Chains A and B, each alone.
Chain A
Amino acid sequence: MPPFPSVELLEDARGAAVVVVRGQLDVESAVRVRRELVAHLAGRALSSLEIDARGLERGDMSGMVILHELRSGVFTQGVRGPVVGLRPELEKLLVAFPSDETLRRVEAGPPELNVAEEVGVATLSVLRDARTQITFLGSVTQAVTDAARNPRRTRFAEALRILDDAGANALPIVSLVSVLTGFVIAFESVQPLARFGAQIFIADTIGIAMARELGPIMTAIVLAGRSGTAFAAELGTMKINEELDALRTMGLDPIRFLVIQRIAATTALTPILTAYSIVAGIAGGAIVMRTIGFSSAAIRNELLSAVRASDVAFGIGKALVFGSLVGAVGCLRGLETGEGERAVGRSATRAVVASIVLIIVVDAIFSVLGYVLRT
Chain B
Amino acid sequence: MSGRGGEAAVVVDGVAVGWDATVIQRDLSFEVRCGEVFGILGGSGSGKSTLLKAMFGLHPLLRGRILLEGDDLAAARGAARGRLLRRFGVMFQSGALLGSLTVLENVRLPLDEFTDLDDAERELVALAKLDQVGLCPAARKLPGELSGGMQKRVAIARAMALDPGILFLDEPSAGLDPITSAEIDALVCALSRGFGITSVIVTHELPSIFAVIDRCVLLDGEAQTIIAEGRPADLRDHSTDPRVLRFFRRETEQGASVP
Chain B binds chain A: yes
Chain A: residues with CB nearer than 8 A to chain B?
A: 26-27, 30-31, 34, 58-62, 65-66, 68-69, 89, 92-93, 96-98, 102-103, 105-110, 339-342
B163 contacts the other chain (CB 8 A) = yes
Other-chain contact of A97, B1, B124, B137, B195 (Cβ < 8 Å): B124
B195 adjacent to A92 (CB under 8 Å): yes
| Contact of B140 (CB < 8 Å), options: A58, A98, A109 | A109
Please, which residue of chain A has its CB at the minimum distance from the CB of B165? A60
The interface bits of chain B over 116-144 (1 if a CB of A lies within 8 angstroms of the residue's CB, else 0) are 11100100110111111000111111101
CB pair B1–A107 under 8 Å, yes or no, is no
Q: Are B163 and A61 in contact, with the CB atoms below 8 A?
A: yes
Given A31-B116, A68-B124, A98-B136: A58 touches B141 (CB 8 Å cut-off): no
Q: Are B115 and A107 in contact (CB under 8 A)?
A: no
B118 to chain A: closest residue by CB: A34
Q: Which residue of chain B has its CB nearest to the CB of A103?
A: B127
- Given A27-B114, A89-B1, residue A98 in contact with residue B128 (CB < 8 A): yes
Of residues 1 through 41 on chain B, the ones whose CB sits less than 8 Å from some CB of chain A are: 1
The residue from A59, A62, A66 contacting B162, defined by CB atoms under 8 A apart: A62
Beyond the given A68-B124, A341-B99, could you list 7 further A-B residue pairs with CB under 8 A, ordered by the A residue number?
A30-B117, A58-B1, A65-B117, A96-B132, A97-B127, A98-B130, A340-B99
A-B pairs with the 4 shortest C-beta distances? A60-B163, A109-B140, A98-B131, A31-B116
CB distance from B141 to the nearest CB of A (A): 7
**Range, interface on chain B:** 20 to 34
Best-surrounded residue of B99, B100, B116 (most CB of chain A within 10 A): B116
- Smallest CB–CB gap between B98 and chain A, Å? 10
Chain A: minimal CB distance from B97 (Å): 12
- Known interface pairs A31-B117, A98-B127, A98-B128; A340-B137 also in contact (CB < 8 Å): no
Interface string of B218-231 (1 = CB under 8 A from A): 00000000000000
Complex Cα distance, B132 from A98, in Å, reads 9
A69 touches B121 (CB 8 A): yes
User: Are the C-beta atoms of A27 and B163 separated by less than 8 Å?
Assistant: yes
- Asked if A102 contacts B115 (CB within 8 A), the reply is no
Q: How far is the CA of A61 from the CA of B102 in the complex (A)?
A: 21
B 140-181 contacts with A by CB, 8 A? 140-142, 144, 162-163
Give min CB distance, B126 to chain A, whole Å: 10
Residues of B near A31 (CB, < 8 A) are: 116-117
Tell me how far the C-beta of A372 lies from the nearest C-beta in chain B, rounded to whole angstroms: 49
Q: Please pick, from A26, A66, A339, A341, the residue contacting B121 in the complex, using a CB distance under 8 A.
A: A66
What chain A residues lie within 8 Å of B194 (beta carbons)? 92
Q: B111 within 8 Å of A by Cβ?
A: yes
Q: How far is the CB of B228 from chain A (nearest CB, A)?
A: 34
Nearest CB in chain B to that of A109: its residue: B140
B121 touches A65 (CB 8 A): yes
Tell me the bound Cα distance from A93 to B162 in angstroms.
Answer: 12
Is B47 positioned at the interface, with any CB of A under 8 Å from its CB? no
Bound complex: CA A59 to CA B2 (Å): 10
B162 near A106 (CB under 8 angstroms)?
no
Q: Could you mark each residue 169-206 of chain B with 1 if its beta carbon is under 8 Å from any beta carbon of chain A, else 0? A: 00000000000000000000000001110000000000
- Residues on the B chain within 8 Å of A106, using CB: 127, 136-137, 139-140
Contact residues in A for B195 (Cβ distance below 8 Å): 89, 92-93
- 25 A-B interface contacts by CB (under 8 A): A26-B163, A27-B162, A27-B163, A30-B117, A58-B1, A61-B128, A61-B129, A61-B163, A62-B163, A65-B121, A89-B195, A97-B124, A97-B131, A98-B127, A102-B131, A102-B136, A106-B127, A106-B136, A107-B139, A107-B140, A107-B141, A108-B140, A109-B140, A340-B99, A342-B99
Chain A residues lying within 8 Å of B141, measured Cβ to Cβ, are 107, 109
List chain B residues, Cβ under 8 A from A68: 124
Tell me the smallest distance from the CB of A352 to a CB of chain B, in Å.
Answer: 22
Q: What is the CA–CA distance of A26 and B144 in the complex, to the nearest angstrom?
A: 33
- Name A60's closest neighbour in chain B (CB-CB): B163
Interchain CB contact under 8 A, B128 and A60: no
Give the residues in chain A near B129, CB-CB below 8 Å.
Answer: 61
Q: State the CA gap A65–B129 with chains docked (Å).
A: 12
CB distance from B67 to the nearest CB of A (A): 21
**A109 partner, pick from B99, B102, B124, beta carbons under 8 A:** B102
Q: How far is the CB of B112 from chain A (nearest CB, A)?
A: 12
B140:A103 contact, CB within 8 angstroms: no
Best-buried of A59, A107, A340 by chain B (most CB within 10 Å): A107
A61–B125 touching, CB < 8 Å? yes
Query: Smallest CB-CB separation from B114: which chain A residue?
Result: A27
B144 touches A339 (CB 8 A): yes
Chain A nearest Cβ from B62, distance in angstroms: 31
Shortest CB distance B195–A (Å): 6
| Contact partners of B128 in chain A: CB under 8 A | 61, 65, 96-98
Residues of B near A30 (CB, < 8 A) are: 115-117, 121
- The answer to whether A27 and B115 touch (CB under 8 A), given A98-B131, A341-B99, is yes
Are the C-beta atoms of B138 and A60 separated by less than 8 Å? no
Q: Are B117 and A105 in contact (CB under 8 A)?
A: no
Q: In whole angstroms, what is the CA distance A97 to B126 when docked? A: 9
Q: How far is the CB of A189 from chain B (nearest CB, A)?
A: 48
Contact B137 A62 (CB under 8 A): no
Query: How far is A110 from B103 in the complex, measured between Cα atoms in Å?
Result: 13
Chain A residues in 8 Å Cβ range of B99: 340-342
Shortest CB–CB separation between residue B76 and chain A, in angstroms?
A: 18
Within the complex, the shortest CB–CB distance from B167 to chain A, in Å, comes to: 14
Minimum Cβ distance to chain A for residue B83 (Å): 10
